[in-house]
Structure 1
């Protein structure tokens, strides 16, 4: 018997979009969360110049790169990590899985909604998955009360909790008081927290607050180049381990890496040195992105809310989460009772592609979806971003969603 592993919903929908485009059908791609920004020129040039670097690095990654990462994140938001406690890999995705695989049996606390690969990875690792169900009214945030209730369903000694903010699929973050409260519960129950902060540098309002600064005892922070540096396909991620990490745990992580991915690509590691060389030097590039993303995200949220679709305005990254539950009865009369049916019908009738909430941990009958507002054009150098000029597909896509849901009201 083979394992039953479905293709990642985000990668699958990107394949579907390409197939429709090959048939000359217009598709507005709000389904796949890929940054539309190019990496900085000096980082691209560094990759070109390192193309000849074909050697393997250590499993942990190039030491100089790890030192630069440590300094970079200390300058960004005071996240303190010893370079010897940094793991570099081909993407943070494999590091998340590596951490889970290091445990023979564990309970995995997963917020709902959350990124599409958390649950499959927990299942592949043979762990017991416990969902932390959130609501629109609570901004899709987990709370100490939700955590305490979930912990009652534990099966195993070890507990892992996944935390992701600014979040995928909701674009939301946590306040200092919220992080402090969550940290207290995590400490009380000795929970290992994997804080997925891949969108941390794309926070809209000031420096991102790393969870490790509130719970340094057992927080592993994951990050990488994919989002803030526009280099998803380069596959360069990192895990920042906590001080005093158990030797057996760290060795298990390195051992799994040595038997699976071996190391991150050497040329990409060399380019990453340029990306992480100087936080102050790169901050203008990051600020340029966040200003554009915030403008687009606020337009999307405001317009959809005005149409009755529940959306909490984003605080970082490039996602918003759409809640169509107010239209449940109306949609049901048209034969739409699941998020898959909702997204399929929207795509068929409008060419707008969004991802169903069932991919993010919800039951199939929850009428929600993630929208990645990335289908826009990056301005040429020295040009001011204009939503009307560079975001025409975003405007059109949002208007089509509004027209579509209003047509179902009739």
Structure 2
């Protein structure tokens, strides 16, 4: 985390009073200004609500929005359980490898055709994506938005990884294409390396005032407000400070270098792995080893594979079935951050962030060891 944010937290440690339910006005103004400059989003501070992480805010939002919830497969593990707790109907929208596991307009249209035509629907979508590391292009977003308008679909755009984008497409999001129907959630956890701060926000367009009002009522009866010192520190995080922005950019360079290296190594083993476009995950598919895995390790499901790799190679992956893929799928999610972030950042800084394989082999030894262990497991 950048020292300026830490110092801001220290400076406001004395703040002990409850803040407004919507959140600190100065913070909401900072977020509106920051996202206007970075993504050309037109948020009103009055339509932004601060919460203890975007995870909680997505959950709360499900109590305000009507209709069934569409979740692309694969998607983040917590969407489904949250929808189940809410008692809503979940519809899984299967994606395909040839589209890098990104939902298409045609696939969304097919799902909507099974639902009442006039019923409002909710699509939760995440770009850059956990678990795949993929990013939706403007063309892909426009394709989905066309169907959303036709089929009464509200988008919850989970943009927690939006600033960890390797494609150069991070100047645009679903809100730019569908301003009247997109709710955005984001926060400090991923981009600013501040998961423990539990600071997130949700923003709704002007025509969804009722959503923010409903959320505000829920907040007043649940968590009341996010910790005051944390909110004051977040003002610094969203200030647009040039040193903090440089830090975010450099962190993104590290994530990109590590992710590309892992994907390249896996593909060299004949493990099909799309090149990551953002976040810090890859989504390899071990299907080419299906027969060998079954014969050698009695592996027939993704869960079997994950357990076998852990027992035999001390490599921890999550099975694709945890992300709504079929149990028989041999896809897995691999996180790409098995290293000391502060130490790697310092080493990268000494190299002026001109990163290469030699740098990774020296500074991320656990990742190199893990990949070698996977190779030995497969051979």
Q: TM-score per shorter chain, which class?
A: over 0.9
Give the number of the structure whose residues are more often helix, by fraction.
2
For 1:123-171, what per-residue CA distance to the aligned partner results, in whole angstroms no more than 9, with x for missing partners? 1111111111012121001011100110122268221001101100011
Unaligned residue ranges in structure 2 (runs of 5+): none
CA distance in 1 between partners of 2:179 and 2:53 (Å): 23
Q: CA RMSD in A?
A: 1.5
Which residue does 1:175 correspond to in 2? 137
Match of 2:167 among 205, 224, 233: 205
Which residue does 2:190 correspond to in 1? 227
> How far off is 1:280 after superposition?
4.3
Which residue does 1:12 correspond to in 2? none
> How far off is 1:277 after superposition?
1.0
For 1:294-332, what per-residue CA distance to the aligned partner results, in whole angstroms no more than 9, with x for missing partners? 111111001101111110001111000011122222222
Which residue does 1:137 correspond to in 2? 98
Contact 1:130 1:153 in 2 (8 A): no
**Secondary structure in structure 1 of the residue aligned to 2:31:** helix
Contact 1:109 1:161 in 2 (8 A): yes
Contact 1:167 1:317 in 2 (8 A): yes
Which residue does 1:5 correspond to in 2? none
Match of 1:126 among 87, 99, 102: 87
Which residue does 1:380 correspond to in 2? 346
Which residue does 1:392 correspond to in 2? 365
Pick which of 41-50 and 225-234 moved more.
Answer: 41-50
For 1:33-67, what per-residue CA distance to the aligned partner results, in whole angstroms no more than 9, with x for missing partners? xxxxxx10010111122222221111111000000
2:215 is equivalent to residue 253 of structure 1: yes
Which residue does 1:310 correspond to in 2? 272
Contact 1:340 1:356 in 2 (8 A): yes
Match of 2:203 among 227, 234, 240: 240
CA distance in 2 between partners of 1:58 and 1:246 (Å): 17
Contact 1:201 1:207 in 2 (8 A): no
**Secondary structure in structure 2 of the residue aligned to 1:195:** strand
TM-score (norm 2): 0.93
Contact 1:56 1:266 in 2 (8 A): yes
Aligned residues: 366
Superposition pairs for residues 72-83 of structure 1, below 5 Å?
Answer: 72-83=34-45
Q: Which has the higher contact order (CA 8 A, sep 6+)?
A: 1
> How far off is 1:240 after superposition?
1.3
TM-score (norm 1): 0.86
> How far off is 1:291 after superposition?
1.0
**Secondary structure in structure 2 of the residue aligned to 1:244:** helix
CA distance in 2 between partners of 1:324 and 1:242 (Å): 42
Which residue does 2:146 correspond to in 1? 184
Runs of 4+ in 1 over 6 A off after TM superposition: none
CA distance in 2 between partners of 1:360 and 1:283 (Å): 32
CA distance in 2 between partners of 1:250 and 1:289 (Å): 33
Which residue does 2:249 correspond to in 1? 287
CA distance in 2 between partners of 1:98 and 1:252 (Å): 9
**Secondary structure in structure 1 of the residue aligned to 2:208:** coil
Contact 2:74 2:131 in 1 (8 A): yes
Which residue does 2:19 correspond to in 1? 57
Contact 1:108 1:128 in 2 (8 A): yes
CA distance in 2 between partners of 1:147 and 1:348 (Å): 39
**Secondary structure in structure 1 of the residue aligned to 2:167:** coil
